[in-house]
Amino acid sequence: MNFIRIGCFLGAALSLWGAAGCNKSSGSGGGTADDFVELALAICDPDAGPFTLEIDNEFFPLPPGRVLELEGDEGGTTVGLTIEVTDETEVVAGVTTRVVTETHTEDGEIIEFSRNFFVQAPDGTVCYYGEEVDNIEGGVVVNHNGSWRAEGANSPGILMPGTPEVETQFAQEAAPGIAEDRSAIVGVGESLSTPAGAFTGAVHTLDWNPLDGQTSADGEDKFFAPGVGLVSDHGVELVSLTE
């Protein structure tokens, strides 16, 4: 399956621009917003299955019971991220998905809890069918901003292609005006060290949010290690993995 290719890099800045042969849309890098959504739909549309709950993508494996703990410092604030693959399922747009929870903390206080819905396509692509978000202040849920499901005007996105390749970019989310994150693969076979250990063969992505006025030039680095998944997210690094 073909994803959008990044045809025009601008040196180390990894900026996409509208040179000859490149298609540009404000806020999305190379390729229009419709391109991102259409390509995600070609793989992750509810009718494009059969899908599986056995998510074994090498760079985004989600076996039930797995817990990833990441931690880092952002401007003097200790940031934590706990990712837990549950044995729960959720039906979204007629597709049975795996529920993965994420807990975000700042200085030990929970600021966001989400239930995320994933499934794997026949080619190994990990598809994202939405999330339920609790935004928390002082221990109290204040809103559910960012919540979406791949139903109605929304459609599923991609979290990791079945075969990651440099210069591939894709829509992670496709909920217009609510959640429209984009991602570009800028490296494969990379090495890095985290508190949990050293990793080789990692996929390096840049993620950006057009709803915040970002383009690919503003992208935040993430690294996904084979057999593990997310090991570094914009400086927040893996500290432990349990099964």
Q: What's the one-letter identity of residue 142? A: V
| Rounded Cα gap, residues 219 and 25, in angstroms | 16
Q: What is the mean pLDDT of the chain?
A: 87
Question: Does residue 90 carry a pLDDT above 50?
Answer: yes
Angular region, 129: left φ>0, alpha ψ -120 to 50, beta rest:
alpha
Closest CA to 210 of 234, 239, 175, 241: 175
- Check residue 37 and give its pLDDT: 74
* pLDDT at residue 25 is higher than 70: no
pLDDT band at 11 (very low <50, low <70, confident <90, very high): very low
pLDDT value at residue 34: 66
Res. 212: pLDDT tops 70: yes
pLDDT at 127: 97
Q: Which residue has the higher pLDDT, 16 or 167?
A: 167
Q: In percent, how much of the chain has pLDDT > 70?
A: 86
Q: What are phi and psi of 28, to 5 degrees?
A: -125, 0
Q: With bands split at pLDDT 50, 70 and 90, how would you rate the model's confidence at 33?
A: low
Domain ranges of the chain: 4-242
- Whole-prediction pTM value? 0.87
Residue 43 DSSP symbol: H
Average pLDDT in the 175-188 region? 94
Taking 70 as the threshold, does the pLDDT of residue 128 lie above it? yes
Q: For 49-81, how does the pLDDT look when each residue is reduced to its tens digit (9 = 90+)?
A: 899 999 999 999 999 999 999 999 998 999 999
Predicted local confidence at residue 235, as pLDDT: 86
Share of the chain above pLDDT 90, in %: 77
